[in-house]
């Protein structure tokens, strides 16, 4: 017999494993064995737990917090890119002002000459607003994460492996 097995079935505490018979035994052994469910073990792992109204509210709240967390992560990423863009633009303006040509600002489809101080002040204001929003988002994401962790503890305590709250 392939793999030197005396029986095609092997029983372990985690379940019953079926060895592949015939010429495909070596290939199946390389890929792993096929699991045949063991009803006694699976019943202990997946007990039926009734979901009451409060549990459903917690699950829905966790879902909303998870969506909010994802949106905040995306906003933080965008804000960081914008802040870097504002810094880069300020550096470019300073470099352009050293030249005699000055700078041109695009307004719609037209370019108009602009004063260095006005443009730099505008960019600094935009950067400061973005940095303030970034701090607010960081605080909000920490609060959301704390709330999610508290709900995870409650839901995993009741449902165990019957619920998946991981990304």
Q: Is 37 left (phi over 0), alpha (psi -120 to 50) or beta?
A: beta
Residue 166 buriedness (CB in 10 A; 0-12 / 13-18 / 19+): exposed
Confidence bin at 47 (pLDDT 50/70/90): low
Per-residue pLDDT at 32 exceeds 60? no
pLDDT for the residue 167: 74
Taking only the tens place, the pLDDT of each residue in 74-96 is: 999 999 999 999 999 999 888 87
Distances (CA, A) of 13 to 30, 31, 34: 22, 21, 15
Q: Is the pLDDT reported for residue 11 higher than 60?
A: no
pLDDT value at 2 more than 70: no
Lowest mean pLDDT among 9-13, 17-21, 57-61, 157-161: 17-21
Q: Look at residue 63 and tell me whether its pLDDT is greater than 70.
A: yes
pTM of the model: 0.66
Task: Give residue-wise pLDDT tens across range 35-46.
Answer: 444 444 454 455
Per-residue pLDDT tens digits for 110-162: 988 888 888 899 999 999 999 999 999 999 999 999 999 999 999 999 998 88
Query: What is the pLDDT averaged over residues 6-24?
Result: 45
Task: Work out the average pLDDT over 11-25.
Answer: 44
By C-alpha distance, which of 134, 165, 127, 152 is closest to 72? 134
């Amino acid at each position: 017999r392939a793999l030197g097995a005396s029986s095609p079935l092997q029983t372990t505490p985690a379940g019953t494993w079926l060895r592949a018979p015939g010429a495909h035994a070596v290939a199946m052994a390389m890929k792993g064995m096929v699991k045949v469910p063991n009803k006694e073990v699976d019943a202990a792992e997946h007990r039926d737990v009734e979901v009451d109204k409060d549990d459903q509210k917690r699950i829905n709240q966790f879902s909303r917090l998870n969506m909010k967390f994802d949106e905040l992560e995306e906003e933080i990423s965008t804000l960081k890119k914008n802040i870097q863009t504002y810094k880069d633009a300020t550096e470019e303006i300073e470099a352009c002002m050293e030249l005699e040509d000055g700078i041109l600002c695009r307004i719609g489809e037209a370019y108009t000459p602009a004063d260095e101080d006005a443009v730099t002040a505008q960019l600094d204001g935009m950067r400061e607003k973005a940095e303030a929003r970034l701090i607010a988002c960081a605080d909000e994401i920490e609060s959301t994460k704390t709330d999610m962790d508290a709900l995870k503890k409650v839901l995993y305590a009741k449902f165990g492996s019957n619920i998946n709250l991981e990304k």
